Chain A
């Protein structure tokens, strides 16, 4: 063991109260960093998961027709009031071709075509406005995971089967096997059997969505073999914006990413992240000040020992290292202890705070990167905090110290 480490360890071991103070400070600091990061990270991941549970990452639609203004003849001015044309034609032309193209794009995991429109669902006297989504069962589930959200019955839209949300089922008073009538405003419709009831964790979707087969939806919505939307799942959710732009350029369709549709959520998450970074920064500063002040006091208290060490041949550099090593040890031990405490806290919260379904509300994310990061920060903090005390120790004049006892 090097001389400096030997002395540093002994100083820490013998200065029990001080060591306990700075260790406690850095443990609490690292624990706060770990816990807060895990909590915020987990919370954000959960929020994004929830948001994307019922939403494709990118949605491609037929572009709005732009109204064209007749050019003015030379010497004339045109005053035009431009109104948006009613979109009678909603289906995407050559959608099979576009779908194949979308699927071949790098970063796209899956894509599915849906025919969506509004209708009324009724049973007896009760009637509710719903959103019909004609889906291709095979590919839809790979974009929006639905099969495992079905709480009763099966996820099947064969023939005249329909899958509805649990809120709509409650509203209409139906359960699996019951019949409901779906009808559009234009009067086209049919009687469907409820094959499954889902709960996707989003009340609006649970209340509005009615999943039927693509063919049935095309018939009801008068799309004659067409689809209204191509829904895309991408590998990296935060790449969605870029992929949406690429797909729009490649297909000529209008493409919207979930990020565009959830700008407020993302802005909120960003604000949350930066406030968390701010809190952590101040925690680090507080821990650094704590370490620096306690080590500083210990330099004063140990000035006699420092003087003696100098008198008996310990170099200035070695003395500085003795105090830097103390800072580093405190930082490392603090980060280990803090990681344990932080993990304990996070795990406790995950188990203690649950929703009525027994699912954890805090999906804390404890990643190795987080621990490594916190460890590095603690080590750095310890080292930086001990620079000032170390310099002070090195500057002590042994003659003065020794003469004054």
Chain B
């Protein structure tokens, strides 16, 4: 097995205060190796979104550890966590979540600018290159509100990759797209995984999508109930 990028140790998450405390995750252990293309499946309410928030460093666990590249993220303060998140984790959401005030190029540049504090020419170059790779080079200076759903999602993928993250988390990345666009987006993710070795963790409840991933992790009631390699991958 390749070197681990993500390690979860006994991850526990509670919501609410006593006496209405609800345990959403009951000690989740998971290791994702570099270059994996894994799916997390589970019915709604299973805790997979919570799990994704914890892995994405958007939230802190009640117990257990999230390690990315061997770094215990619990040791970071809030600003450190934000900075680390910007560098180590890329997000692709169900709704593309681009900033409507900015162009496609600027949206891809935002994480880099937030990290460095100001724009510089290498960022423009890097972002343009990424947009070319997702096939949207011609639309780079368009407002994202003028793009179709599939195009916007491809910009979001470019943004997720802008900081060359250790892992990209995709939450129902094709859930909001028509079949053709969904397929294009999925193929794009797969290409980045195969050609660049980018690690992907994809949350979905679509079995057909999961069937095209290398590994399927099933979460039910806050526990991992199945974790199996998917031998029959065809793309």
Contact = CB atoms under 8 A, between A and B. Distances in A.
Interface of A: 1-3, 6-7, 10-11, 13-14, 304-305, 308-318, 397-399, 402-403, 405
Contact of A317 (B79, B87, B113): B79
B181 to A, nearest CB: 18
B81 to A, nearest CB: 10
Interface of B: 49, 53, 56, 58-59, 78-79, 82-83, 85-87, 91, 93-95, 97-102, 106, 110-111, 113-119, 159, 163
B147 to A, nearest CB: 16
A244 to B, nearest CB: 63
A310 B117 contact: no
A1 B118 contact: yes
Contacts of B99: 305, 308-309
Given A312-B159, A313-B111, 13 more contacts: A3-B114, A11-B101, A14-B100, A310-B82, A311-B91, A312-B86, A313-B163, A316-B82, A397-B59, A399-B53, A399-B58, A403-B53, A405-B94
A317, A318, A398, most chain B CB atoms within 10 A: A398
B79 A311 contact: no
Contacts of B56: 311
A304, A315, A397, most chain B CB atoms within 10 A: A315
Contact of B117 (A2, A309, A405): A2
Nearest to B114: A314
A313 B116 CA distance: 10
Given A312-B110, A313-B85, A2 B101 contact: no
Contacts of B110: 7, 309, 312, 314
B117 A402 contact: no
A122 B156 CA distance: 100
B49 A312 contact: no
Given A311-B85, A313-B83, A398 B101 contact: no
Q: What are the nearest 9 A-B pairs in CB distance?
A: A313-B86, A14-B101, A399-B58, A3-B113, A314-B114, A312-B111, A399-B53, A313-B114, A10-B101
Contacts of B115: 313
A279 to B, nearest CB: 38
B85 A402 contact: no
Contacts of B53: 399, 403
B90 to A, nearest CB: 8
B102 A318 contact: no
B91 A6 contact: no
Given A310-B82, A402-B58, A2 B114 contact: no
Contacts of A311: 56, 58, 85, 91
Nearest to A307: B97
Contacts of A402: 58, 91, 93, 97
A6 B79 contact: no
B118 A2 contact: yes
A397 B56 CA distance: 13
8 contacts: A6-B119, A309-B110, A311-B56, A312-B91, A313-B83, A314-B114, A397-B58, A405-B95
A339 B179 CA distance: 58
Contacts of A7: 110
Contacts of A10: 101-102, 106
Contacts of B93: 402
A305 B117 contact: no
Contacts of B100: 14, 305
Contact of B113 (A6, A398, A399, A405): A6
Contacts of B59: 397, 399
A318 B53 CA distance: 22
B79 A315 contact: yes
B58 A309 contact: no
A397 B97 CA distance: 15
Contacts of A312: 86, 91, 110-111, 114, 159
Nearest to B176: A405
Nearest to B90: A312
A13, A308, A312, most chain B CB atoms within 10 A: A312
Given A2-B118, A309-B110, A312-B91, A398 B58 contact: yes
A308 B97 contact: yes
A309 B82 CA distance: 10
